[in-house]
Amino acid sequence: MTRSKLSQAYPLGSRLDEDGRLELGGCDAVELAREFGTPAYIVVEDDLRARAQTFVEAFKARTKDFDVLFASKAFPCTAVYRVLAQEGIACDVASGGELALALRGGFDPARIYMHGNAKSVEELRFARETGVGHIVIDNADEIERLEQVVGGDEPQPVLLRVTPDVSGATHAAISTGQADSKFGFSMIDAPDAIARVSNSEQLQLVGLHVHIGSQILELEPFRRAIEAIAPLGDFPVYNLGGGLGVAYTAEQEPPRISDYVAAKVDTVADVLGPGKRILDEPGRALVANSTVTLYTVQSVKRNVSTWVAVDGGMSDNLRPMLYGAVYEAQIADRFPLSGTGGGTPSRLTGKHCESGDVIVRDVELADPRVGDVVVTPATGAYGHALANNYNGVPRPPVIFVSQGDARVVVRRETYDDLAARDVDDGDD
Ligand code: PLP
């Protein structure tokens, strides 16, 4: 019997051998767990590169004037910035810290766009000092703050973030396009803000920005958002945000990158007119499926349910607890012949002191036992990014794999790291 294909949630190029063992970037998953310990984020570098190329090629096929920006909040890790900078894409940062990492990762500051709904004077100064190409203004308070930071120096090119009152079918926590949003100027306030910034001596308005939310699995909301901002005027640049959803499970079917790009580019041409420079900001769709997390089973407990407890949880993947995000899981060297299922209905749970610390609520695992390596795919976006030290658990390493080689790009945190910022050690 031949093995069925792996779910599309796994990184490109992943495979199962005849015995049902998972291979990632040419490396055996269980051996990676042995060598680097668990939990660990395993990033398939070729997957990252391929998706960046797919975005760029899709735009190139439809328009001359564009840039693809890595929305780096999804995976703010120097090595990831470096790979995506090498692939020739630009970058979006949402804080001074992300800006520092993006520069460290090799992004040209001129191709960095700075976001944020509460940028501080220090962050704006840092952006100016490092030569950030564009700042995306989110609110009226920021206009004055940025004008003061610019002072008598060269004007700062800016875009204005607009909330179009359009949202996609996604969780409220990651929906941003609705009128009652903490992000951007409402459609009512936008005209005054546009007039105000257009008349500023310190700011140079080049265009509008719109981002309606994340993990959106249909194209229609992206089209509606572009239509909604059309009455605000004619600008040379439109930054259309990110938001393209990805497959976290075998059942989810996100639009293809090329269809997403076509929908956006064609709508801009139809509604806003020809010759516009189009910027797009994918985060999740660039990085989510490049990565899996490996865990080791620490206990298997049966009461009403079968609780399979692993050595990580809400400290390395907060998404299921924050907004009910759904994942797949399998035993890394016992994938079922059918590709899905596994025989033992389980709750894959973490090690943290909260009952809500459940990574996958309903999953079939193949006879889970203590010591098994469990894999959850599609953890590249907002995994490492949202990692924390709850219960004093050190954050996992990030391991890059490519063509049979594996290398640590972020080491595992140590217990000493947990106290590294302590300045009062109790001695008088
Ligand atoms: N652009 C902005 C302004 C965002 O806030 C976000 C995510 O929150 C993104 C882009 C990336 O979104 P996604 O990861 O869904 O592509």
Q: Is 71 in the pocket of ligand 1 (CB under 6 A)?
A: yes
Do residues 301 and 268 both lie within one domain?
no
Residue 282's pLDDT is what? Answer: 98
106 lies in some domain: no
Residue 89 phi/psi, 5-degree rounding, is -95, 170
Tens of pLDDT along 178-234?
778 888 999 999 999 999 999 999 999 999 999 999 999 999 999 999 999 999 999
User: For residue 2, is pLDDT > 50?
Assistant: no
Do residues 270 and 314 both lie within one domain?
no
62 lies in some domain: no
CB atoms within 10 A of CB 253: 10
Tens of pLDDT along 354-411?
999 999 999 999 999 999 999 999 999 999 999 999 999 999 999 999 999 999 999 9
Do residues 312 and 272 both lie within one domain?
no
Q: What is the mean pLDDT of the chain?
A: 95
What contacts 181, CB < 8 A, 6 or more positions away? 163, 175
Tell which one of 84, 210, 211 to mutate to probe ligand 1, the residue whose CB is within 8 A of the most ligand atoms. Answer: 211
Q: Is 11 in the pocket of ligand 1 (CB under 6 A)?
A: no
428 lies in some domain: no
Q: Is 282 in the pocket of ligand 1 (CB under 6 A)?
A: yes
Tens of pLDDT along 407-421?
999 999 999 999 999
Type and span of the H or E element at 24: strand 22-24
What contacts 427, CB < 8 A, 6 or more positions away? none
Dist CA 99 CA 108 (whole Å): 11
Residue 358, beta-bridge partner list = 349
**Contact between 184 and 163 (Cβ < 8 Å):** yes
Q: Is 242 in the pocket of ligand 1 (CB under 6 A)?
A: yes
Tens of pLDDT along 312-349?
999 999 999 999 999 999 999 999 877 677 789 999 99
Burial 91-129 (b: 16+ CB within 10 A, else e): bbbbbbebbebbbebebebebbbbbbeebeeebbebbbe
User: For residue 117, is pLDDT > 60?
Assistant: yes
Tens of pLDDT along 122-135?
999 999 999 999 99
What contacts 263, CB < 8 A, 6 or more positions away? 219, 222, 223, 255
Do residues 246 and 163 both lie within one domain?
yes
DSSP E strands in 281-426: the ranges are 291-302, 306-310, 330-331, 344-349, 358-365, 373-377, 398-402, 405-410
Tell which one of 67, 75, 214 to mutate to probe ligand 1, the residue whose CB is within 8 A of the most ligand atoms. Answer: 214
Q: Which of 282, 311, 344 is the last residue of a domain?
A: 282
Do residues 147 and 192 both lie within one domain?
yes
Residue 339's pLDDT is what? Answer: 66
Q: How many A from CA of 32 to the centre of ligand 1?
A: 31
Q: Give the helix ranges, DSSP H, for 171-256.
A: 190-198, 220-229
Residue 180's pLDDT is what? Answer: 80
Q: Is 365 in the pocket of ligand 1 (CB under 6 A)?
A: no
148 lies in some domain: yes
What contacts 314, CB < 8 A, 6 or more positions away? 320, 321, 350, 352, 354, 356, 357, 388, 390
Residue 4's pLDDT is what? Answer: 55
Q: pLDDT class for 265, splitting at 50, 70, 90?
A: very high
When pLDDT is averaged across residues 11-40 and rounded to a whole number, the result is 96
The rounded radius of gyration (Å) of the Cα atoms in the chain is 23
Q: Is 284 in the pocket of ligand 1 (CB under 6 A)?
A: yes
Residue nearest to atom 1 of ligand 1 (CA): 241
Segments forming the whole domain that contains residue 395: 15-44+288-418
110 lies in some domain: no
Tell which one of 70, 72, 73, 182 to mutate to probe ligand 1, the residue whose CB is within 8 A of the most ligand atoms. Answer: 73
Q: Which of 252, 282, 312 is the last residue of a domain?
A: 282
Q: Which of 248, 282, 316 is the last residue of a domain?
A: 282
Do residues 260 and 381 both lie within one domain?
no
Do residues 170 and 219 both lie within one domain?
yes
Q: Which atom from ligand 1 is nearest to the alpha carbon of 115?
A: 3
Which tokens in the block code for residue 7? Answer: 């779910």
Residue 174's pLDDT is what? Answer: 67
Domain of 355: which CATH number? 2.40.37.10
Closest CA to 135 of 207, 86, 228: 207
Q: Which atom from ligand 1 is nearest to the alpha carbon of 286?
A: 16
When pLDDT is averaged across residues 22-35 and rounded to a whole number, the result is 98
Do residues 127 and 269 both lie within one domain?
yes
344 lies in some domain: yes
Find where tokens 């749970």 sit.
349
Do residues 246 and 293 both lie within one domain?
no
**Contact between 102 and 119 (Cβ < 8 Å):** no
Q: Which atom from ligand 1 is nearest to the alpha carbon of 176?
A: 5
Domain of 235: which CATH number? 3.20.20.10
Do residues 146 and 270 both lie within one domain?
yes
51 lies in some domain: no
Tens of pLDDT along 64-108?
999 999 999 999 999 999 999 999 999 999 999 999 999 999 999
Q: How many A from CA of 244 to the centre of ligand 1?
A: 9
Do residues 278 and 299 both lie within one domain?
no
389 lies in some domain: yes
Catalytically active residues are 353
State how many domains the chain has.
Answer: 2
Do residues 161 and 194 both lie within one domain?
yes
**Contact between 371 and 332 (Cβ < 8 Å):** no
Q: Which atom from ligand 1 is nearest to the alpha carbon of 284?
A: 14
